[in-house]
Amino acid sequence: MRKVPATVITGFLGAGKTTLVRHLMEHAHGRRIALIVNEFGDIGIDGDLLASCGVQGCTEDDIIELANGCLCCTVADEFLPTMQALLDRPNPPDHIIIETSGLALPKPLVKAFQWPEIRSRVTVDGVLAVVDAAAVAAGRFADTPEQMAQPDHDNPLEEVFEDQLACADMVLLNKADLLDDAALGRTHAELAAKLRPGVRVIRTSRSAIDPMIALGLSAAAEDDLAARPSHHDGEDGHDHDDFESFAVTLAEIADPAALEGRLIQAIADHDILRLKGFLAVSGKPARHVVQAVGTRIERWFDRPWQAGEDRVSRLVVIGEKGLDRTAIEAAILA
């Protein structure tokens, strides 16, 4: 029996994973793709954004959100039954894509594909790591001078980032549009040094990669886990205490541009890693999406609020442990 190929998409917060999923769904050319999405924190934004993507042939049934915590730590309770249900469908998907949270380690998830219950029916076609080229170039994952001054320090960002790269079969050096050729070349070389031999790096903007390449790696990653080193090898799960998230609920927004100014200030003042959500803008029938990666913010109207849906403005804030929630809320709501 032919195994169903599954692609694991990893990459740090805001690198362009959801953008990649959307691109792959839009260019599926009739291939039936099912999607499993997992996010850090309790409130899923990505699944909702993808559900409204309007891609032909992509129904809400094909998008499964696993909102409870970290996929790599809840494989037995959440992931395995979901996979089994997908494979047991009378008409199983041609390909399964799993978008992990930006803080998840890919290796424990790939390991789950060794479980006898699914091993004979599905294989990991490849682990794709999406990288924010501008964030790497800006030194986002490197040690700060304070960290370097401490012996035996941890750098949680760097560890997650390196684990994701070390497990990859292919890397998308994304957001290439934000760097000039020289900076892109330097970033490319810096990344290549962290990869297993033979792993290709492809420069992309808006995660635009040919699905024939991205979804056809035939890597059977579950068979060579030993070749994919992790900072957490030998540990049972990993700890989430390094990062935290919370949601801020706002009233209808009269002036989104003014709010954007406050958000940029709050992100800079509190070193917020990621902020995203939806806004209800006064007098506008459409939902307004806000996406911030560091202080770079994008906003757009994605679809009309639906009948029976609450026009709620809610933003999810993610950062390293120790975020000053009270001060951040005050700054955003001011």
Ligand X SMILES: Nc1nc2c(ncn2[C@@H]2O[C@H](COP(=O)(O)OP(=O)(O)OP(=O)(O)O)[C@@H](O)[C@H]2O)c(=O)[nH]1
Given the rule CB under 6 A, which residues bind ligand X?
11, 13-19, 46, 102, 174-175, 177-178, 205-207, 274, 291, 293, 298
CB nearer ligand X, residue 141 or residue 225: 141
**Beta bridge pairs of residue 8:** 98, 127
- The CB-side HSE value for 315 (13 A sphere, CA atoms) comes to 33
CB of 291 vs ligand X, minimal distance in Å = 3
Q: Which residue is nearest to ligand X (CB)?
A: 102
CB of 174 vs ligand X, minimal distance in Å = 5
CB of 100 vs ligand X, minimal distance in Å = 9
Task: Tell me 226's DSSP state.
Answer: G
CB nearer ligand X, residue 17 or residue 270: 17
Q: Which residue has the tokens 């099912």?
A: 34
> What sign does the dihedral 176-24-315-154 (CA atoms) show?
negative
Instruction: Please name the residue ranges forming H helices in the chain.
Output: 17-26, 46-51, 80-88, 106-112, 116-119, 133-137, 145-149, 156-166, 181-192, 211-214, 256-270, 325-333
CB of 275 vs ligand X, minimal distance in Å = 9
CB nearer ligand X, residue 4 or residue 203: 203
CB nearer ligand X, residue 148 or residue 300: 300
Give exposure, 7-33, as e/b (b: 16+ Cβ within 10 Å): bbbbbbbbbbbbbbbbbbbebbeeeeb
CB of 36 vs ligand X, minimal distance in Å = 13
CB of 11 vs ligand X, minimal distance in Å = 5
Closest Cα to residue 214, out of 8, 45, 44, 4? 8
CB nearer ligand X, residue 3 or residue 296: 296
Helix (H/G/I), strand (E/B), else coil: 111:
helix
Can you give the length of the chain in residues?
A: 334
CB of 238 vs ligand X, minimal distance in Å = 17
CB nearer ligand X, residue 177 or residue 210: 177
CB nearer ligand X, residue 155 or residue 205: 205
